[in-house]
Amino acid sequence: MIERLDHLNIRTANLDRMIAWYRDILGFETGPRPGFSIPGAWLYANGQPLVHLVEVPQTPSDPGKDLKLEHGAFRATGYKDFIAKLDAAGERYRIVEVPDFPIVQVNIWDPDGNHLHVDYDTAEMA
C-alpha cells in the first residue's frame, strides 16, 4: 500500500536555477545528500527529501517532448498564499477542479518545463 510520495528525481542542466525555483516558489530547502559522484541537490519539505535533482551536461533538444518528468504532485495547505506567491513571482499556472473529488490542482511548470501540480482541498478556495 502506497502511503505518500517518497521523492521525485529530476535531471537538469540548470541546477542552480532549479534549486532557486523550488526554494522560492515551493518553499523547499536544500539538505543533506549522499556523496554521489555526479552533482546534484536534495530538496526538503517538512524534513523529507522530496525532490532529488541530478545535474546533466546539457538540456534536451526538445524540452516539450523530452522532459525528465511527465508530472509530479504534492498535497498542500495554504491555497490563497500560494496563489499570491505565484502571482507576485509572475509564474504561469492553471487551476483545475478535479471532477467528483474535493481537490483543486494548481498546475505549474519548473524552469526546465516539468509539469507539477500542488493539490489543495476545495474548501480552501472559499
pLDDT, mean of residues 94-101: 91
| CB of 51 closer than 8 Å to CB of 8 | yes
Residues 52 and 1 both lie in one domain: yes
Report the alpha-carbon distance of residue 118 to residue 78 in Å, rounded. Answer: 10
Residues 53 and 85 both lie in one domain: no
Q: Domain count of the chain? A: 2
Tell whether the model's pLDDT for residue 97 goes beyond 60. yes
User: Which residues constitute the domain of residue 85?
Assistant: 71-126
| CB of 53 closer than 8 Å to CB of 12 | yes
Here the CATH number for the domain that contains residue 25 is 3.10.180.10
For the whole model, what pTM was predicted? 0.77
- Beta strand segments in the chain, E: 8-12, 29-31, 40-45, 48-55, 71-75, 93-97, 103-109, 115-121
Which pLDDT tens digit goes with each residue over 51-78?
999 888 876 565 555 556 667 889 899 9
Q: Which residues in 72-95 are b (16+ Cβ under 10 Å) and which e?
A: bebebeebeebbeebeeeebebee
The whole-number pLDDT of residue 26 equals 95
